Amino acid sequence: MTGLVIIGASYAGVQAALTARDAGYSQPITIVCDEEWLPYQRPPLSKDFLLGRISEQNLILRDETFFEGKQINLVLGQRATLLDLRARQVTLAGDNALEFEKLLIATGSRARRIAVEGADFDGIFYLRSVTDAIELKARLADAAEIVIVGGGFIGLEVAASAAKLGKKVTVVEASSRLLERAVSPVLSTFLLDTHLRAGVDVMLNETVTSFKGSDRKVSAVVLGNGASVHADLVLVGIGGVANDDIVRSAGLRCTNGIVVDEHGRSETSDIFAAGDCANHFNRFCESWVRLESVQNAQDQAKAAGLAIAGAPAPYESVPRFWSDQYDVKLQIVGLAGQYDRQAVRGSVDDGRFSVFYYRQGRLVAVDSVNRPGEQMAARRLIAAGISPAPEQAADPSFDLKSLVTAADKAGA
């Protein structure tokens, strides 16, 4: 079968297929996925799914009938093992092969493994797939003491879920603060206080050197200071690694992911990539980045799908992220990077505030806690290149939307 072959059936893969089809791509479209599941949502895995608020079926993005209606063929439970650029062919496990006219790689990322003694013990989990989540949820029910290795988004979300389930939770983080690479010290301190109030024990500046256990089942986490923390279950969340192996082996350029342009196109014109596995130059960040977010996966996939259909429009979305922990709704727009000034709007003590980040006088990012209206305004401001003065951003009486409205009128 020729036409468009997509490897990966999460947000990016599905979005690229739908966009290409809706934009007029009339050739066959096949999505290949190494999981048996229909395409599903991943963000709820660490939150509502673990808490029992939604079931596996509630996670499904689209049912089989929908894909049939779009004339999109799903090949589930088949791993792509080899990419032959010259033959324009993808080999699947079992030696089945698919020929392609155009190819999109949407293989996402995998959890970074911890390399210490005992890392292969039973009871040590990673969370990337629904299969991971199903097993983690089942084992959480019988566990009393949970250790989370890594104070990033997934680790903190699972910590919050476990605490809500009444578990004794310990978070071990190697950095000096939580989410050090993603948010400012203001946010890090607020989240630390939030978890401490929920009864979570947070250990900063601390590393894991090994795991102890009996009969190859984990029973304790050994720290760099020599102390041990008892654990019935361990969740490791120390970042992700791009699933670019099949493309790298084929000789395409990969640098922390598959290198693509603003249309999701690799150095080979008919081969595209989108989502967690793709590395692109983002003008809002002014750097090459590999973003792991639903927004990036969908928007980058839209750009790739349009290019595949012959109706190109560049990917120019401002990066966005979110995280739910307890009653905290953290929303992030932009990437602060090396900011040189910040302004806080609202009340940190009340748990409703935003932090505006500036670099050389330009607004580059805004983190918001339980302030969705300010997030919406911030998205429009950053996208339009409009920067309120830090004093204006910090003044809750100043109407941020007025700046966007004035710019809209000026451009009309």
Tell me the pLDDT of the chain (412 aa) as tens digits: 579 999 999 999 999 999 999 999 999 999 999 999 999 999 999 999 999 999 999 999 999 999 999 999 999 999 999 999 999 999 999 878 999 999 999 999 999 999 999 999 999 999 999 999 999 999 999 999 999 999 999 999 999 999 999 999 999 999 999 999 899 999 999 999 999 999 999 999 999 999 999 999 999 999 999 999 999 999 999 999 999 999 999 999 999 999 999 999 999 989 999 999 999 999 888 889 999 999 999 999 999 999 999 999 999 999 999 999 999 999 999 998 889 999 999 999 999 999 999 999 999 999 999 999 999 999 999 999 999 999 999 999 999 988 988 766 655 4
pLDDT for the residue numbered 95: 78
pLDDT for the residue numbered 199: 98
What structural domains does the chain harbor? 4-110+241-308 (3.50.50.60), 113-236 (3.50.50.60), 327-411 (3.30.390.30)
Q: Is 8 helix (H, G, I), strand (E, B) or coil?
A: coil
**Do residues 83 and 90 touch, judged by C-beta distance below 8 A?**
yes
pLDDT for the residue numbered 412: 41
Q: Which two tokens mark 277?
A: 């596995």
| Cα–Cα distance, 411 to 45 (Å, whole number) | 43
| Cα–Cα distance, 286 to 190 (Å, whole number) | 28
Q: What residues pair up with 83 in beta bridges, in sequence order?
A: 90
Specify the pTM: 0.95
Calculate the alpha carbon distances from 258 to 30, 58, 281, 291 in Å. Answer: 21, 32, 12, 12
- Pairing of the two strands 4-7 and 278-282: unpaired
Q: Which two tokens mark 294?
A: 């639903």
| Cα–Cα distance, 217 to 215 (Å, whole number) | 5
How confident is the model over 119-166, as pLDDT tens digits? 999 999 999 999 999 999 999 999 999 999 999 999 999 999 999 999
pLDDT for the residue numbered 407: 60
Kindly tell me the number of DSSP H helices and DSSP E strands found in the chain.
10, 26
pLDDT for the residue numbered 163: 98
Q: Which residue has the tokens 């990673």?
A: 126
pLDDT for the residue numbered 409: 65
How confident is the model over 254-308, as pLDDT tens digits? 999 999 999 999 999 899 999 999 999 998 888 899 999 999 999 999 999 999 9
Nearest to 355 by CA among 257, 94, 346: 346
pLDDT for the residue numbered 405: 80
> For residue 232, what is the DSSP state?
S
